[in-house]
Amino acid sequence: MKRFWGQRELGSAAGLPQPHISGIESGEIVPRFDTLLDLVRVLDLDLLLVPRSLVPAVESLIRAQKKPESAEKPLYAADEDESATSNHDRDEF
């Protein structure tokens, strides 16, 4: 979900001044854990710890969620082209 917020809007929502957000963004300021959690929640995100061995699987799930058309279809689902072809073939017999 894109919010198109600037640093001022994000800071306001998280209760932080814009220069502090700028410092975090530039890497000059390392946020405390509670500040990081506040920013995550304001952005309607969640922070999860994942074992390194499972990171590829989690990344794959995230990619599949972003591209639902690439997700696997059930075996019984027919594409529009397939159903049109099969109906046309039946009419000829």
Lowest-confidence region among 24-38, 45-59, 68-82 = 68-82
Res. 19: pLDDT tops 90: yes
On whether residue 2 sits in a domain, the answer given is: no
**pLDDT confidence of residue 90:** 54
- Mean pLDDT calculated for residue range 27-55: 95
Side chain identity at 91, as an amino acid letter?
Answer: D
Token pair, residue 2, equals 């894109």
- Residue-range definition of the domain harbouring residue 53: 7-92
Does residue 21 form part of some domain? yes
Position 93 pLDDT exceeds 50: no
pTM greater than 0.85: no
Res 83 pLDDT > 70: no
For position 62, what pLDDT does the model report? 87
Q: Does residue 1 lie in a domain region?
A: no
Task: Give, in order, the Cα–Cα distances in Å from 15 to each of 7, 11, 22, 30, 38.
Answer: 12, 6, 14, 17, 9
Going by the DSSP 8-state scheme, the letter that residue 34 receives in this structure is H
- Based on the structure, what is the number of domains in the chain? 1
Does a structural domain hold residue 23?
yes
Helices (H), the chain: 7-14, 18-26, 33-42, 55-66, 80-92
